[in-house]
Chain A
Amino acid sequence: MLVTVRLFARLREIAGRSELRIEVPDGGTVKDAWTILSGRHPELEAYAASVSCAVNEDYTRMTSLLHDGDEVAFLPPVSGG
């Protein structure tokens, strides 16, 4: 299946883009998408323990299943205010 990945702040800089499409095996999870992504951009591995994720603009868990066409967002630790 094909999913859209959105990246923010430092993660966006590491990947060199804010949005990309990746192929994830059917039955894959958010974590699988992250693993594919950090395989391409090893600097992302530093965020493995601190990254948050959202699917279709809703916070979710790395264990959530993905579906074709989903938009998954990876968020580094936040600093609003």
Chain B
Amino acid sequence: MSDVPLDTAEVAAAVAAAGCGAVVTFVGLVRDRNAGRQVRFLDYEAFAPLAVRSFERIAAEASERWPSVTLAIHHRTGRVAIGEASVAIAAASPHRADAFSVSRYAIERIKQISPIWKHEHFDGGEVWIEGATADPQDEAARQFAVNRACS
């Protein structure tokens, strides 16, 4: 978790190793439009220690299904401008297929279980974005993320 701009090269470098033929990075950016609103910026709030634990959990889940993959997740807190990165994920593996799958799995799981919230500031107001009820034990949600990762 970081309250300063994410360094996407650093996230990729954190997982690259001699045995890796592939590093897939996913970078989530702040959009200027959402649900018909003109977005000015997002303010991210997090329960940081639990968020880090959720990332560790996601990495453990991923390595159970994709044992050859190394995963790194960095997420912003605080005010993030349009076009700036809010999340950076890097997955490294000997072959590309697993790295693609794990990067997708990680972003789906972050959206399900990481205690992080977007406070959207738009032209004319502000709103808390509320998505999934966080439940790491929800096996149906986890299976949904696996299916997304394998599609």
B129 at the interface (CB under 8 A from A): yes
A52 at the interface (CB under 8 A from B): yes
Return the CB mask of A50-73 against B: 1 if under 8 Å, else 0. Answer: 111010011100000000000001
B37 at the interface (CB under 8 A from A): no
Tell me the chain A residues, 4-58 only, with Cβ under 8 Å from chain B. 6, 8-10, 12-13, 50-52, 54, 57-58
CA distance A41 to B132 in the complex (A): 23
Chain A interface residue count, Cβ-Cβ cutoff 8 angstroms? 21
Given A8-B45, A58-B53, A77–B133 Cβ distance below 8 Å? yes
The smallest beta-carbon distance between A16 and chain B, in angstroms, is 15
The smallest beta-carbon distance between A60 and chain B, in angstroms, is 10
Given A9-B119, A54-B47, A73-B47, A79–B111 Cβ distance below 8 Å? yes
B66 at the interface (CB under 8 A from A): no
Which of A12, A57, A59, A81 has the most chain B CB atoms inside 10 A of its CB?
A: A81
Q: Please, which residue of chain A has its CB at the minimum distance from the CB of B119?
A: A9
